[in-house]
Amino acid sequence: MSAVRHYVVVTAAYWAFTLTDGALRMLVLLHFHGLGYAPAELAFLFLFYELFGVVTNLLGGWIAARLGVRVTLLAGLALQIAALGMLSALDPTWPRAASVAFVMAAQALSGVAKDLTKMSSKSAIKTLLPADAHGPLFRWVALLTGSKNALKGAGFFLGSALLTGLGFRPALWAMAGGLAVALAVALTEL
């Protein structure tokens, strides 16, 4: 596979992930706000997402060096699908504390997935350029990072539209299905 085609596949997988990741943030926030969760409870829902993202950033380079960027990208997509599936298993009859703990665990998986996917995608740029091409490398990384920010914002709107149009569980299933397609393409093309 050519380096450009490889980069296109990796970037498309990253964009699919980023769009659904932004949608998931908004979906969780709006769903639990609608259930009457207090602001502190809502904040706890995202605590492990951020904390496990930090841990993944610390260990991600080591993991990629041993297993390869392809493995970390595929693992990131698969973990996000697992996190979406886990969230869809949330039982509305559970006590509030159990629900918060369950969502925090699912968000931990999602935080790991986010940083594995992000690290893999940014590292894939290096395969396209010669080792001494620092200027173009920074431009490509800036383009990828800028697109991530725009897609995450678009994902917020997607999450609210999915919640309004489909409801909580079907929205999670739809996002998992979209990521499963991205994962299947990445598996066959990388």
Which burial class, exposed, middle or buried, applies to 1 when counting CB atoms under 10 A from its CB (0-12, 13-18, 19+)? Answer: exposed
CA distance 121 to 178: 18
Tokens representing 53 are 């993202």
What is residue 94's DSSP assignment?
S
* Band (34; pLDDT cuts 50, 70, 90): very high
pLDDT in tens, 95-132: 999 999 999 999 999 989 988 888 877 776 666 666 66
Buried b (16+ CB within 10 A) or exposed e, 42-70: bebbbebbeebbeebeeebeebbeeeebb
Tell me the residue ranges of DSSP E strands in the chain: none
pTM for this one? Answer: 0.87
